[in-house]
Structure 1
């Protein structure tokens, strides 16, 4: 195996961790926008923009995993099907939480309600990311998947 081939194999683990870190940062920015804004129109627009960007990025990440990454892992590692099913259930739960957050932002819910939504998303998202990184890290180091990382892990 050449160095280039080895770098590509290990890159999936690195790509996943990089995307997770970007999503964590997007959530931090969203929470900062909420914490710093008085209920003025510009602050509400900023929060809406941050929330929309974060929700779109996280949804795209999970859809890419469900569509591309998880089937590739299941094909070569059938012993991980329960783990993959758990991760997909997390994706469904997170999608539900994101929908509730987006609805709250759209109706201009009070900051304390928005913070509760963000706190719930943050807790589940972090738990999910850690479980995914622990459970799939070694597999991703050796995964041979010739695909565009943006299609597999979402456009970030």
Structure 2
């Protein structure tokens, strides 16, 4: 194995953490748009913009993991299938919450209602990211997956 190959293998762990960091920042910007003190209608317009980017990125991240990353991990580490199943269930829950947020933004909804949606997504997303990083970190350091990071972890 060459030095470049080793770097690429270890990079999956760093790529995952980097994507999680960017998604956290996108959620923070979305929350700041709502907390900016603008009337609910203006906040909804801002949220529509931020939510579209954030929701698209979060959904793309989870779809990429389900399609590319988790099957590769399951093939290399069959004992992790229960962990991967739990992560896929989390993805379905987050998708449901994102759909609820998108509907609330499109409505438009009141600021407190929008905050509730963001609070729910933030809580589940953070719990999911921490669990995923803990459970998969060492596996990702050695995962031999020949794919583009955007295909595997979403277009961020």
TM value normalised by structure 2: 0.97
Q: Does 1:57 align with 2:60?
A: no
CA contact (8 A) 2:40 2:110 kept: no
1:8-87 correspondence to structure 2 within 5 Å: 8-39=8-39, 42-87=42-87
5+ residue gaps, structure 1, are: none
**CA distance in structure 2 between the aligned counterparts of 1:4 and 1:108, rounded to whole angstroms:** 50
**CA distance in structure 1 between the aligned counterparts of 2:25 and 2:148, rounded to whole angstroms:** 23
**CA distance in structure 2 between the aligned counterparts of 1:37 and 1:98, rounded to whole angstroms:** 23
SS at match of 1:146: coil
Q: Displacement, 1:46?
A: 1.6
CA contact (8 A) 1:37 1:44 kept: no
| Aligned match of 1:5 | 5
**CA distance in structure 2 between the aligned counterparts of 1:37 and 1:48, rounded to whole angstroms:** 16
User: How far does the alpha carbon of each residue in 1:80-130 deviate from its partner, in whole angstroms, 9 at most, with x for none?
Assistant: 000000000000000000000100000010000100100000000000000
C-alpha RMSD of the superposition: 1.0
Q: Displacement, 1:78?
A: 0.2
TM value normalised by structure 1: 0.97
| Aligned match of 1:151 | 151
5+ residue gaps, structure 2, are: none
